[in-house]
């Protein structure tokens, strides 16, 4: 089996571990090709959103439009409440503004030195 790159280079792939009788293997598909050093690093993304404060406007919008995106910050650990408070104050947040924290994964590679 082989993969052909965008520039026409043919790369051999070891497919000896594929059970062709019991696994679906299409002839053509989009694939991800990663080095053996590739891994997913856990990250936490804090998203700051500020409340739209124009009262006359707020009564005419639906609930999903009450906030506007302000800033995202990525952490290599679950951020503490103090870190989130600092982030919000750095971006001028006030009462009723919000910050949400989502867990994600960043594509990375180990490098041999």
Query: What percent of the chain has a predicted confidence (pLDDT) above 90?
Result: 44
pLDDT higher than 80, residue 71: yes
* Contact in structure between 57 and 65 (CB atoms under 8 Å): no
**Chain-wide mean pLDDT for the chain?**
84
In this structure, how many other beta carbons lie within 10 angstroms of the beta carbon of residue 50? 19
Place of tokens 């995202």: 72
DSSP-assigned beta bridge partners for residue 38: 109
Q: What is the pLDDT of residues 78-108, one digit of tens each?
A: 999 999 999 999 999 998 899 999 999 999 9
Domain coordinates in residue numbering, the chain: 38-109
pTM above 0.75? no
The phi, psi pair for 92, rounded to 5°, reads: 70, 30
């Amino acid at each position: 089996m082989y993969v052909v790159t965008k520039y026409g280079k043919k790369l051999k792939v070891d497919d000896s571990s594929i059970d062709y009788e019991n696994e679906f293997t299409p002839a053509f598909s989009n694939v991800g090709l990663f080095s053996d050093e590739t891994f997913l690093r856990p990250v936490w993304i804090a998203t700051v959103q500020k409340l739209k404060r124009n009262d006359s406007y707020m009564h005419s919008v639906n609930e999903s439009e009450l906030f506007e995106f302000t800033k995202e910050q990525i952490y290599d650990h679950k951020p503490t409440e103090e870190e989130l408070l600092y982030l919000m104050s750095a971006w001028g947040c006030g009462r009723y503004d919000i910050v949400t924290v989502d867990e994600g994964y960043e594509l990375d590679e180990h490098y041999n030195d």
